[in-house]
């Protein structure tokens, strides 16, 4: 019988859970007509709480005891706390949206980057952690460099007056981040899942081969070779016939 999969093999559950949460957040922002700071705080609050719970609880269950499990537990707790703060301050305006999302992206992005560097060449998800940490760090930089007082008014091709403000840019940037994260984590999660299943199938075939196939580490018995006819016997037969 093949050995049961290790807890590391189930990390794909975390990736797919995070992808689902990001999908919902990206869809809400994409189809919302009002990209105000209040909408940003509400969507980010729900996103951060659900992501934090997924990361903290599931990683605690599927990762082996050690530094990596502690890092993701801390990251999940930070996400839950800042998400709850965003929901409590949903009327706080653009300033709070900037501060909360910037703090979340900087802290969790750094933790995921560090986890990826630490687990490089030792964990199948290390590359995903590095990429996700980099994307989250970029989000923090965007929120820090966009001025909070942008307000440009213009008339669209349809003759309707429109406004481009800092909240529209930043809420849209957060929605774009969620869409990218959703696609990347979904691909990474399914890759980890299918890769684990392929490895398990190969291990099962090696441990329990079909009939007539040698087990792993066992050599196939050699077939008996026909004995050679002694030259003297063959020579005597020829002389008798003569």
Task: Give the model confidence (pLDDT) of 87-121 as tens digits.
Answer: 999 999 999 999 999 999 999 999 999 999 988 88
Least confident of 62-66, 104-108, 160-164: 160-164
Q: Does 231 or 40 have the greater pLDDT score? A: 40
Asked whether residue 241 is assigned to any structural domain, the reply reads: no
Alpha helices (runs of H) in the chain, residue ranges in sequence order:
12-31, 37-53, 59-62, 67-88, 94-118, 126-145, 166-207, 231-241
pLDDT band at residue 206 using 50, 70 and 90 as cut-offs = very low
The total of structural domains in the chain comes to 1
Q: Look-up: residue for tokens 């706080």?
A: 92
Rounded CA separation 72/151 (Å): 39
The mean pLDDT value for 83-89 works out to 96
Dihedral sign for Cα atoms in the order 136, 141, 142, 144: positive
Residue 181 predicted with pLDDT over 50:
yes
Rounded CA separation 20/15 (Å): 9
State residue 164 phi and psi, 5-degree precision. -110, 110
Residue 144 predicted with pLDDT over 60:
yes
Q: Are 100 and 85 in contact (CB under 8 A)?
A: yes
The mean pLDDT value for 46-72 works out to 92
The pLDDT, as a whole number, for residue 227 is 52
93 lies in which domain range? 7-153+163-206
Q: Which residues contact 132 (CB under 8 A, 6 or more apart)?
A: 109, 112, 116, 181, 184, 185
Asked whether residue 216 is assigned to any structural domain, the reply reads: no
Rounded CA separation 54/62 (Å): 11
pLDDT band at residue 12 using 50, 70 and 90 as cut-offs = confident
The pLDDT, as a whole number, for residue 9 is 62
Query: Across all residues in the chain, what is the average pLDDT?
Result: 81
Asked whether residue 227 is assigned to any structural domain, the reply reads: no
Q: Which residues pair with 163 in a beta bridge?
A: 153
Asked whether residue 230 is assigned to any structural domain, the reply reads: no
Asked whether residue 223 is assigned to any structural domain, the reply reads: no
pLDDT winner (highest mean) among 74-78, 145-149, 208-212 = 74-78
Rounded CA separation 187/142 (Å): 25
Asked whether residue 28 is assigned to any structural domain, the reply reads: yes
Asked whether residue 108 is assigned to any structural domain, the reply reads: yes
**Tokens linked to 11:** 């990390």
pLDDT band at residue 241 using 50, 70 and 90 as cut-offs = very low
Asked whether residue 229 is assigned to any structural domain, the reply reads: no
Residue 48 predicted with pLDDT over 70:
yes
């Amino acid at each position: 019988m093949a050995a049961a999969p290790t807890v590391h093999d189930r990390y794909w559950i975390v990736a797919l859970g995070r992808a689902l949460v990001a999908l919902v957040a990206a869809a809400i922002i994409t189809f919302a007509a009002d990209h105000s700071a209040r909408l940003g705080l509400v969507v980010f609050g729900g996103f951060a709480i659900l992501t934090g719970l997924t990361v903290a609880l599931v990683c605690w269950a599927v990762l082996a005891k050690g530094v990596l499990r502690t890092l993701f537990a801390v990251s999940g707790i930070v996400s839950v706390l800042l998400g709850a703060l965003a929901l409590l301050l949903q009327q706080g305006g653009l300033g709070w949206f900037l501060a909360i999302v910037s703090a979340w992206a900087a802290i969790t992005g750094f933790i995921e980057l560090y986890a990826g560097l630490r687990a490089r060449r030792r964990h199948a998800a290390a590359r995903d952690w590095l990429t996700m940490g980099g994307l989250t760090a970029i989000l923090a930089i965007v929120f820090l460099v966009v001025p909070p007082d942008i307000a440009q008014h213009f008339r669209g091709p349809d003759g309707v007056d429109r406004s481009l403000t800092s909240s529209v840019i930043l809420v849209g940037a957060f929605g774009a981040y969620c869409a990218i994260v959703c696609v990347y984590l979904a691909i990474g999660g399914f890759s980890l899942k299918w890769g684990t299943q392929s490895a398990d199938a190969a291990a099962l075939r090696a441990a329990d081969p079909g009939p007539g196939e040698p087990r792993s580490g066992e050599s196939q018995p050699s077939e008996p070779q026909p004995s050679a006819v002694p030259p003297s016997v063959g020579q005597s037969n020829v002389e008798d016939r003569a």
